[in-house]
Amino acid sequence: MNVTWVHSLPTGKETGTFLTIDLGGTNLRVCKVTLHGESAKNKDQKYDIEQEQYKFPNSIKSTNADELWTHVAEKLEDFIENKGLAKEYDDKNKMPLGFCFSYPATQDGIDHAVLQRWTKGFDIDGVEGHDAAAQLRAKMEEKKLPLDLICVINDTVGALVASAYSDPATIIGGIFGTGCNAAYMSSVSSIKKLSPDDERLKDKDGNTRPLMAINCEYGAFDNARKVLPWTKYDAQIDEESPRPGQQAFEKLSAGLYLGEIFRLILVEFADRGLIFADQEKNGNEKLRQRYSIDTGFLSQIENDETEGFTDTRGMFRDVLGLDVADEELEVFRRVAELIAVRGARLCACGVAAICLEEGITEGHVAADGSVANKHPHFKKRWAKALDQILGFDSVGEDQDPIIITSADDGSGVGCAIIAAMEMEDRLQRQAA
């Protein structure tokens, strides 16, 4: 669990224009965000956003630090030119930049982030153990970009803050997508990693601030494998991953892995002659390609309401080049359900742990990510599991004391709001 140096949730009054970047698992996203604060007519118009998304070349995931940050800086440069921002900002009037870096990082300050380890399939040399913010800052200076890096955040913290900007009932920001993680506001007195006398915890008047956002990084829960029951498929995924022995919880529950678990089960069934027995061995070649099935594949299987499940049959033909018999289809739907149910229930465990630790009894869990927002049954299964753990007398997933809501854009808008909060804090310190 990592401290973030975000000391409060937003007031909803934050304003300004900011550039943000999100270094995610699949894409690099660059956004220009304008916050309207109290001048907004309603909560749905509290910000404007212009954005571009750049898909990472596969080679980037296993390159080196210089190539990574050169790629990021080049996309920032493209965005600045394409949006005409070079006319508004220069070396003397830099545009504030927020950096969403959604990987485990140790932060000595809000504009600093030493990467602990790569996750989500990344294995880029020369970044682990180094300040990612400093590396990006150096590359921006090299390219003379008119940007001032104000803050580095995790996407969970961004989701928490962005959602609280419009919804004060927000208690937790969660990511249930490529990875699995959450953030919440903790009392500073319960953070044993920090001394209460740490000057970094003081406000402008010298008083210790009461709260701090915590990035749980619970995707790494049970790396020692002493708690969670693993299947042989989970063990194989771990062994073949870029970081065996790490992100144990995530490998059982996150979107990056659910499709691969499904594929491994199907491969075993095929090897045992239980499925596709009447099709040529080379006819299931695509099935034997690692990560050839993604989580969206499982979502579509469970969401298929076509007669005779023609959409699922077509998907098997298009993606894997395989024809599916009726009996096989029934098995595949059940396997997809089992994998997704386990993932949803594990995700509920992470949130329940926070609620039990902090004594939280009501509020909104702002969830972002493809699994939370695109899987047809995730929210219902998640809510049922949370009810069972916390002892709610459930009256429906939208009426429980703690409910899951769709997070506002944490990596874009949330990052901008945190940058605005940090700039305001700096001004107050200077005035003092």
Cβ neighbours of residue 30 closer than 8 Å, sequence gap 6 or more? 19, 20, 21, 22, 51, 52, 54, 75, 76, 79
Residues 6+ apart with CB under 8 A from 290: 240, 260, 263
The answer to whether the CB of 182 falls within 8 A of the CB of 218 is yes
Angle at 54 between CA 53 and CA 56, to 5 degrees: 140
Residues 6 or more apart in contact with residue 256 via CB below 8 angstroms: 25, 120, 121, 178, 179, 250, 295
The helix/strand/coil state of 364 is strand
- C-alpha 219/C-alpha 221 separation (Å) is 6
Best CA proximity match to 72, nearest among 29, 124, 127, 32: 29
Torsion of CA 356, 358, 359, 363, to 10 degrees: -100
CB 258 within 8 A of CB 264: no
List the structure tokens of 160.
Answer: 């928490």
Alpha-carbon distance of 182 to 163, in angstroms, equals: 13
The closest of 157, 215, 185, 186 to 407, measured between CA atoms, is 157
Residues with active-site annotation: 102, 117, 155
- 99 contacts 20 by C-beta, under 8 angstroms: yes
Which tokens sit at 220? Answer: 């790494």
- In the block, tokens 């990052």 appear at 415
Closest C-alpha to 99, from 164, 18, 39, 13: 18
**How would you class 206 by CB atoms within 10 Å of its CB: exposed for 0-12, middle for 13-18, buried for 19 or more?**
exposed
Closest alpha carbon to 163 in 175, 151, 146, 152: 175
Task: Count the Cβ atoms, other than its own, within 10 Å of residue 46.
Answer: 24
One-letter amino acid for residue 411 of the chain = S
